[in-house]
Structure 1
Amino acid sequence: MNFKEKIFSILSNKEFDNLTWNIFHDQIKNNITYKNYLQFLEINPFEIKNISEIPFLPISFFKTHRIFSSRTTDDYDIIFTSSGTTGIKSKHYVKNLNIYIDSIRNSFEFFYGPIEKFKFLGFIPTNRKDSSLIYMIKYLIQQTHKNGSHFIPYHNYKDIFSNQNDKNIFIFGLSFFLLDFIEKNNHLQQNMQKNESKNKVIIMETGGMKGKRKEIIREELHDILKKFFCVKEIHSEYGMTELLSQAYAKKNGKFQCPPWMKVYIRDPEDPFIHINNNKIGGIDIIDLSNYLSCPFISTEDLGKKINDNEFEVLGRMDFSDIRGCNLMTPHFLEC
């Protein structure tokens, strides 16, 4: 079944719930890995009555399996690979790249409006062709190249405020790249201060240090970025190789999801139970745009829900401290 049009036209919780049930039943029929996982857990999917009870597939399966909601596993448009510096990397076999493109645009415009009103600047290395993040930023830049959108090489700097007609500058940057840029160009802070009142600038950090620098807490990172770029708030993006949608935080690291994406927090003692707001646990995600792979993902990130619409990401889980994590991964399942 083609769910694409329905996913990006969701307007209510009821529509989300109805489509989630339809996609869940499609998964237990066509996703062999997910179906085997439920059998291993001895779960009868037809006895599940609430969406929060739907089992979430451990994200580690993307390291060991080709995750498809299809009987064929050799038909795909692109493979996105995680940026991990050690061990086996996750691979997301994307069967329909147009779904990712639609998710990029619809997710961004849900929070920020039409992409055509922005000049996008990418503070991010571009040497990886298998990165979903680079693909996303490249798409936004290509769609708005007439606005002057481009990637920024920090070793060959051009003033990002050189065009006084720029009104809406949107900077995407990996944390380590932004900090490297600031260190190499701190003499330019005066330029930022001069242009502070002339331009509307949004700075969005898109993740951690990726092994390139020592990790620092989000508040410290944001304080450094605010001071250099002369902005009041730092925005954040939450996405990953294994998903096709993104959540965004406009301030204070409080993320919100687009209408086809939902976050739950699982109990650190029992990974099959979801806990209430303001309690810390593992992040589980429903991303309906993932319907051709698996939309029910149990991540290795730690977080908490603030309310029904907002959540925080608090870091990576320490598996040595979580008793239930090994219950989630049956290692004998074949790829």
Structure 2
Amino acid sequence: MQQEQTNWAIDVMLENLRNLAENIYALKSLKFQAIKEAFYFHYENCQNYRNYCDISGFSPDELNFFEDLSKIPLLPLNVFKAYKVLSVDESEITMISKSSGTSQKFSIVYRDEITLRRLEKGLFYVLDQLVSGFNKGYVAMLIPPPDESDTWMVQILSRVFPKYFEDGDYFIKGGELDFKGFLQKLMDPGTRRPRHLFGPPFVLLKIAEIMKKRGIALQLDEGSIVSTGGGWKMYEGNKIDQKDFRQMISGVFGVPVENVRDGLNCTEINTWMIDCRCFYKHIPPWLHVTIRDPENPEKEVPHGEEGLIAYLDPLSNSYPAFVLTDDIGRLAVAEDQKCSCGMSGPCLHSEIRRASGAESKGCALKLSQYLSIEGNGRA
């Protein structure tokens, strides 16, 4: 069994996040140290990544200041489709995650227990920013159970949600939505409060359309959150306006518009970013997000300009999570600034799209291919 080293900067950071919440300078220093240690570890233990760094002309000796983080060589997503990227022995891997695209080429990511334990701690922290109050309540999960889906979203949320919320149920089973069971559970006075909903946008949208058509409206609770887990980019070309979506969900479930939030993640990293009430995606303190020039990804664009989103995620022990995505976005709030919601730290703008020519991919796409929303006989 792996022995976790608790003196690593990332582990110290995860244990002390709540005490450091408003200490921007301490968090920035710990972030740099955590990413630096992660880089050293992967450089020494992942031969493919070390070769890539050597070819790129970057060595650990050049990582001395926070600004040097932009020099760390980034792995394009197609690397995870073509190569087995590992920094530990394969016998230590306990979760293998796949993300599909329209071409059916899979990104395959290997995670060990150290990575997963750090991920859990990080996601608990992120959920605490979303779900206020002592009672975590009930979550209706509009995703399949883990024995029916190998998507990254299902894999990790089925591991974390039962530990975080007091109660919860899956309402996608056998590829079908149990709409009747979903309504009954939400309307049952014995269901724990507050009641929260989580699911891909296309599932929540279809449920909202069914409810409007049937004249059904619910009134959830003070503190109830309706959260989507990304998947907006699959609608490009037939774009759903997120503001209209929030208004519709607010109306049928009786929650304030600001309680309809979206989350962002990709299979190749281990961190979730979730909307605040102002609908900016807050970047947790350990994650470094950098926006790159699509024509020259080694170059950062000026703050506020659009470019390719790249992540440096030190939560990963089993592989180097230094990733260049094919998503286009921009930073709305800088590292040393405060969001209009009152929280400190950097944020991504909610408008994120695929780079031109990039395939549609991700958990929402994969789930949409699996699910039958209508005509299931249980609605």
- TM-score norm. by structure 2 comes to 0.74
Tell me the equivalent position of 1:238. 264
Deviations 1:225-244 (A, max 9, x none): 23322332221111121111
* Code of the aligned partner of 2:152: S
Tell me the equivalent position of 1:92. 109
* Code of the aligned partner of 1:202: I
Q: Which moved more, 1:174-183 or 1:40-49?
A: 40-49
Distance in 2, matches of 1:210 and 1:47, equals 36
Distance in 2, matches of 1:116 and 1:135, equals 24
Secondary structure of the equivalent of 2:296?
coil
Tell me the equivalent position of 1:300. 326
Secondary structure of the equivalent of 1:120?
strand
Distance in 2, matches of 1:35 and 1:257, equals 27
8 A Cα contact 1:167 1:200, kept in partner: no
Tell me the equivalent position of 1:329. none
Distance in 1, matches of 2:232 and 2:282, equals 23
**CA, structure 1 residues 112+26, in 2 after alignment: closer, same or farther (shift >3 Å)?**
same
8 A Cα contact 1:189 1:229, kept in partner: no
From 260, 264, 270, the counterpart of 2:290 = 264
Please say if 1:318 is aligned against 2:356.
yes
**CA, structure 1 residues 188+32, in 2 after alignment: closer, same or farther (shift >3 Å)?**
farther
Distance in 2, matches of 1:106 and 1:177, equals 26
Mapping of 1:118-129 within 5 angstroms?
118-126=137-145, 128-129=148-149
Distance in 2, matches of 1:229 and 1:280, equals 34
Tell me the equivalent position of 2:159. 139
**CA, structure 1 residues 306+212, in 2 after alignment: closer, same or farther (shift >3 Å)?**
closer
Segments of 5+ residues of structure 2 without an aligned counterpart are 21-26, 172-176, 335-345, 359-379
* Code of the aligned partner of 1:81: K
Secondary structure of the equivalent of 1:227?
helix
Segments of 5+ residues of structure 1 without an aligned counterpart are 321-335
Tell me the equivalent position of 1:331. none
Shift of 1:311: 0.9
**CA, structure 1 residues 23+125, in 2 after alignment: closer, same or farther (shift >3 Å)?**
same
Please say if 1:20 is aligned against 2:35.
yes
Please say if 1:149 is aligned against 2:149.
no
8 A Cα contact 2:292 2:310, kept in partner: yes
Distance in 1, matches of 2:357 and 2:312, equals 22
* Code of the aligned partner of 1:29: E
8 A Cα contact 1:38 1:45, kept in partner: no
Identity of aligned residues (%): 20
Tell me the equivalent position of 2:273. 247
8 A Cα contact 1:280 1:302, kept in partner: yes
8 A Cα contact 2:283 2:348, kept in partner: no
Q: Tell me how many residue pairs correspond in the alignment.
A: 315
Distance in 2, matches of 1:203 and 1:278, equals 28
Please say if 1:286 is aligned against 2:292.
no
Shift of 1:20: 1.6
Deviations 1:7-32 (A, max 9, x none): 41354211111222122111211122
* Code of the aligned partner of 2:225: I
Shift of 1:36: 1.7
Secondary structure of the equivalent of 2:297?
coil
Tell me the equivalent position of 1:105. 124
8 A Cα contact 2:110 2:319, kept in partner: yes
8 A Cα contact 2:56 2:73, kept in partner: no
8 A Cα contact 1:121 1:172, kept in partner: yes
**CA, structure 1 residues 148+77, in 2 after alignment: closer, same or farther (shift >3 Å)?**
closer
**CA, structure 1 residues 189+15, in 2 after alignment: closer, same or farther (shift >3 Å)?**
farther
Deviations 1:85-126 (A, max 9, x none): 433111111122333333332332254357852311111233
Secondary structure of the equivalent of 1:156?
helix
Distance in 2, matches of 1:242 and 1:90, equals 8
Distance in 1, matches of 2:148 and 2:239, equals 22
**CA, structure 1 residues 141+305, in 2 after alignment: closer, same or farther (shift >3 Å)?**
closer
- TM-score norm. by structure 1 comes to 0.83
Please say if 1:5 is aligned against 2:11.
yes
Q: Which moved more, 1:273-282 or 1:35-44?
A: 35-44
Distance in 2, matches of 1:266 and 1:278, equals 12
* Code of the aligned partner of 1:142: P
Shift of 1:251: 3.6
Secondary structure of the equivalent of 1:285?
strand
8 A Cα contact 1:120 1:149, kept in partner: yes
Distance in 2, matches of 1:275 and 1:148, equals 44
**CA, structure 1 residues 277+168, in 2 after alignment: closer, same or farther (shift >3 Å)?**
farther
Shift of 1:204: 0.6
Q: Which moved more, 1:170-179 or 1:35-44?
A: 35-44
8 A Cα contact 1:85 1:210, kept in partner: no
RMSD: 2.8
8 A Cα contact 2:304 2:332, kept in partner: yes
Tell me the equivalent position of 1:221. 245
8 A Cα contact 2:126 2:272, kept in partner: yes
**CA, structure 1 residues 259+189, in 2 after alignment: closer, same or farther (shift >3 Å)?**
farther
Distance in 1, matches of 2:179 and 2:71, equals 50
Tell me the equivalent position of 1:34. 49
